[in-house]
Amino acid sequence: MKWVPRLRIGRELPPLILTMFFDTGSRTLLRVIRFLAVLAVAVCGGKNAQAGIISGSNDLGAIWYIGDSITQSNADGDANGSPRLSLYDDLNAGGYTFSFTGHTNVNIDGLPATGGTSATNLYQFHSGISGAVIQNDGSGRTGIAQNLPTWWTQGRLASVKPNVILIMIGTNDVDIQLDLPNAPSRLGSLINTIYALPGIGLPSIFVATIPPNRTNTPGDPINVSAFNAALPSLINGFRTAGKDVTLVDQYTPLNNSYATDMRPDNLHPNSVGNDIISQQWYQAIQARAVPEPSVVGLLGVASMVLLRLRLRRGPTL
């Protein structure tokens, strides 16, 4: 009868796994290495440099902002600031390497100019459009989803495709009460449109809840809450399908300090709100970039397993 060792390294290893590699006739490091190579691919995802955030790396690649005037930052009352500038500062302070991409560089907001062409202008491009809604749907507004295929070949997006995508859209849909029952599903269609773009790869996508809106009370606050409440299920659907999509709560911190974070129009964050939005994006990116177990670390565990087995069993006769 074969002996199956039971080991505790952090937690007990299932005996079934060990019987695949340890018996009286085969107790070699090679078998363990093969097993751990497969395990490392499963744990680390086997991502390449053209995909989304690589766990443990400080190189984020190109970041694509998608949104409305809050992203464009033309109505925050701060000509030299924006959520994009605040995130630029936060990422630099955190030691990350990155650039911004997008189809337009309207509203520079203090971001540095680094070159004379779209490709070499590293930080001023985005896809934040004032007044934009999730989809056009005859609203007379700029529909993000309908325009994505065109924007994909414009500005810096034409040559620099995103590794990270930050989406915050839906504020104007609520404000003009545009097809509110279907607003979350239309956001899902927008995300699917992104995945259908040629050469998109497997980016890390972060989707935000929308900020508070008190332009028309009590209707707008109720509609904002309803829209945001539908997003966890939407995002979980993409995650279940294997997509790297994360929900970011922008609503709660802004609503908790509404008087200091929002402008008198009750629709747009001010400079303080911009910093809060940036911090929420930054913390989500930082959490996603936390290192996962490495192959080297797993091989170290394998060595300890073999040593422990040999000490327990003694020499093979």
In the numeric block, which tokens belong to residue 87? Answer: 């995130």
pLDDT at 295: 44
* The pLDDT value given to residue 251: 97
Q: Mean pLDDT throughout 252-275?
A: 94
pLDDT at 25: 46
In a domain, 82, yes or no: yes
Look at the chain and report how many structural domains it folds into.
2
Average pLDDT, the chain: 83
| Residue 34 pLDDT exceeds 70 | no
Q: Are 280 and 298 found together in one domain?
A: no
- Minimal CA–CA distance to 194: which of 216, 218, 163? 163
Q: Is 317 exposed, middle or buried (0-12, 13-18, 19+ CB in 10 A)?
A: exposed
Residues 6+ apart with CB under 8 A from 242: none
135 in the same domain as 25: no
Residue whose token pair is 């490091």 = 29
Lowest mean pLDDT, pick from 26-30, 284-288, 300-304: 26-30
**CA 140 to each of CA 136, 150, 173: distance values in angstroms, whole numbers, following the listed order:** 7, 18, 12
Burial of 209 (0-12, 13-18, 19+ CB in 10 A): buried
Comparing CA positions, the residue from 26, 47, 28 lying closest to residue 36 is 28
Distance CA 297, CA 299 (A): 5
pLDDT tens, position by position, 264-277: 998 999 999 999 99
pLDDT at 22 over 50: no
Residues 167 and 231 in one domain: yes
Tell me: do 185 and 309 sit in the same domain: no
Domain of 38? 8-46+293-313
Residues 27 and 64 in one domain: no
Is there a single domain that holds both residue 31 and residue 175? no
Residues 248, 253, 256, 261, CA torsion sign: negative
pLDDT digits (tens, 9 = 90+) for 62-93: 999 999 999 998 888 788 889 999 999 999 99
Both ends of the chain: CA-CA distance in Å?
16
Percent share of the chain, pLDDT over 90: 69
What CATH number is attached to the domain comprising 277?
3.40.50.1110
Q: What is the pLDDT of residue 314?
A: 56
Say if residue 153 is in the same domain as residue 197: yes
Mean pLDDT of 299-308: 53
> What token pair was written down for 32?
């363990």
Of the pLDDT bands very low, low, confident and very high (cuts 50, 70, 90), residue 311 is: low
Please report whether residue 3 resides in a domain.
no
Of 23-37, 124-138, 159-173, minimum mean pLDDT range: 23-37
User: In this structure, is residue 80 part of a structural domain?
Assistant: yes
pTM score of the predicted model: 0.79
Residue type, 143: G
Helix (H) or strand (E) holding 309: helix 295-313
DSSP E strand boundaries for the chain: 8-9, 11-12, 59-67, 97-101, 127-128, 164-168, 204-208, 245-248
Whether the per-residue pLDDT at 16 is higher than 60: the answer is no
- Answer whether residue 24 is part of any domain: yes
Instruction: List, for residues 203-240, the tens digit of each pLDDT value.
Output: 999 999 999 999 988 999 999 999 999 999 999 999 99
Lowest mean pLDDT among 45-49, 52-56, 235-239: 45-49
pLDDT (0 to 100) of residue 137: 75
Regarding whether 180 and 154 lie in a shared domain, the answer is yes
Q: Quick check: is 2 in a domain?
A: no
Q: What's the farthest any 2 CA atoms get from each other in the chain?
A: 84
DSSP track, 291-302: PPPPHHHHHHHH
Residues 69, 91, single domain; the answer is yes
Residue 54 belongs to a domain? no
Does 271 share its domain with 297?
no
pLDDT in tens, 155-177: 999 999 999 999 999 999 999 99
Taking residue 272's Cβ as centre, other Cβ atoms within 10 Å add up to 15
Residue 293 has pLDDT above 50, yes or no: yes
On whether residue 237 sits in a domain, the answer given is yes
191 and 252: one domain?
A: yes
Examine the pLDDT at 255 and tell me if it is beyond 80.
yes
Residues 65 and 42 both lie in one domain: no
| 53 located within any domain | no
Dihedral sign computed on CA atoms, order 187, 188, 193, 195: positive
